[in-house]
Amino acid sequence: MLKKYLPVTLIAICFSSQLFGMEMKMMMPSHNAPIGVMGGHLLMKGKWMLSSRRHHMTMKGNQLNGKSISDAKVLQQANPFSSMSNMPSQLSIVPQEMTMDMLMLSTMYAPSDDLTVMSMAMFVDKEMTLDTYGGMMDRDYLGSFETSSKDLSNLSLFALYKLRQDPRNRSHLHFGLIKNTGKNDSSDEVLTPMNMVANITLPYGMQSSDRSNRLIIGTTNVSTLGQYSFGAQALFSAAIAKDDWSLGDYWDLNTWLQKDYNEDLSLSARIRFKSQKKIEGRDMTIMAPVQTANPLNYGGQTTDLSFGANLALNLFGAKKKLGVEIILPLQHNLRGLQMKRKWSLVAGYTVSF
């Protein structure tokens, strides 16, 4: 009798051990991708996950076609709006520093083991400090000023569909729609090269959104080997409906390595490559002797290196995770004249139930 049921018993033990291994891996902190990666995993049927992420990014100084450039050299660049009245022939306002804070609130729900639905709202808060110089003759320094904008930037809805899942590999598809809802005509007071204060429409980079609708498609794959996880994500985003202008289409590629330090902590390293086209279209009200008013000075290629950690908590019957990543620039080949990107910090908190 024992010999009769032994093969079936062994198969059942192997299958249950695989399932147990998968469940244990899903409980480990590395089951969640680094906090800077969106949609890095699926949920089990009937499960919910709420998350809050905060991304702080800084910029300082300027570069022309990927190479650093001094303020004096910026002031020698031609002003594309010089044909307009009272406009200097060269750039006269130089960005010095910029900070951008993004708050992302998301909800995930799995109606089945194969499908997870994710919705997200993103708020942005931007601040920039600029120096103004005289538009003629000696180009004297006139003073410094600040501009800012903040708004609900966009609302998005994603479907994550499972392609494969076994104890060592899992992969899924991304399909998403983003509605950019923030203002694209925000204005603020600036110090002009005529040494006067004027209220103007802020340049493209200081707007909360481009008011476009975007499509995002892509894939995520994660493989595990012992305490290590290897992840790769490729996303493509294109504007499918726009106002007068829209940010360029882009490829966003992430690859990461995670290690479970123990049952509660995982450490990660991630490389991100992003390639984005220039702005499509133009807002005729955005005209100023500053590089950010030129739609040609947007887009390019960036490569960043991130180091992060995920900490798993189990409090009050719900699974919670804290995540943090610091992002450092490796190589930025930006199109035209743009600000140099410095370090960024992402921190997040997730609750699963």
Q: Where are the beta strands (DSSP E) in 65-114?
A: 67-69, 93-109
Least Cα distance to 254 among 216, 291, 219, 292 occurs for 219
Q: Say what the pLDDT of residue 66 is.
A: 85
Q: What DSSP element (H or E) covers 6?
A: helix 2-27
Q: What share of the chain is helix, strand, coil (3-state, %, to 5)?
A: 10, 60, 30
Q: Say what the pLDDT of residue 12 is.
A: 37
Q: Say what the pLDDT of residue 23 is.
A: 43
Q: Say what the pLDDT of residue 27 is.
A: 54
Report, in angstroms and rounded to the nearest whole number, the Rg of the chain calculated over CA atoms.
Answer: 24
Q: What DSSP element (H or E) covers 122?
A: strand 115-133
Least Cα distance to 245 among 286, 276, 273, 192 occurs for 286
- Residues 118-177 have pLDDT tens digits of 999 999 999 999 999 998 878 899 999 999 999 999 999 999 999 999 989 999 999 999
- The residue ranges of the chain whose pLDDT is under 70 are 1-30, 315-318
Q: Say what the pLDDT of residue 294 is.
A: 97
What whole-number distance in Å separates Cα of residue 307 and Cα of residue 174?
A: 24
What domains lie within the chain, and their CATH numbers? 2-352 (2.40.160.40)
Q: Say what the pLDDT of residue 28 is.
A: 61
Q: Say what the pLDDT of residue 137 is.
A: 76
Q: Say what the pLDDT of residue 189 is.
A: 97
What whole-number distance in Å separates Cα of residue 83 and Cα of residue 88?
A: 9
What whole-number distance in Å separates Cα of residue 160 and Cα of residue 144?
A: 47
Cα distance from N-terminal residue to C-terminal residue, the chain: 44
Q: Say what the pLDDT of residue 126 is.
A: 98
Query: Would you say 350 and 320 are in contact if contact means Cβ atoms under 8 Å apart?
Result: yes
Least Cα distance to 234 among 104, 54, 42, 39 occurs for 39
Within a 10 A sphere around the Cβ of 229, how many other Cβ atoms? 23
Q: What DSSP element (H or E) covers 27?
A: helix 2-27
